[in-house]
Amino acid sequence: MRASKNQSFFARLRFAFAGLAQGVRAERSLRFQLFAFGVVLIALVVVRPEPAWWALVILASAGVISAELVNTAIEHLADHLHPEAHPSIRIVKDCAAAAVLVASLAALAVATALLVHLMAQT
């Protein structure tokens, strides 16, 4: 077991990248979210909205990806601590999944607002 407290910045950065890599390997939904983020970035390059829209879209996308990573961490921890089905563990997992849903809906709201904004400009 590694001690991650009081490590150098670069050591902690390696831990974070290791977590991201593990999430990508283990979770199809995270891979989908990252693919969607790539498509969104390409769309932003093509459409070239104002910088504020870039910030909103990137923040919303980062929120979805972050929620997905936290959901993954919670699921792995819950499964490790309590491998068999349990009503309380189900509630924890469902709430974590709901957080991803809320972040995704917020990101869709930002995308909708951007589309409305772009259509109003034409």
Q: Coil, helix or strand for 78?
A: helix
Active site residues: 68
Cα separation values, 33 from 65, 76, 99, Å = 6, 19, 14
Can you tell me the distance from the alpha carbon of 31 to that of 23, in angstroms, rounded to the nearest whole number? 8
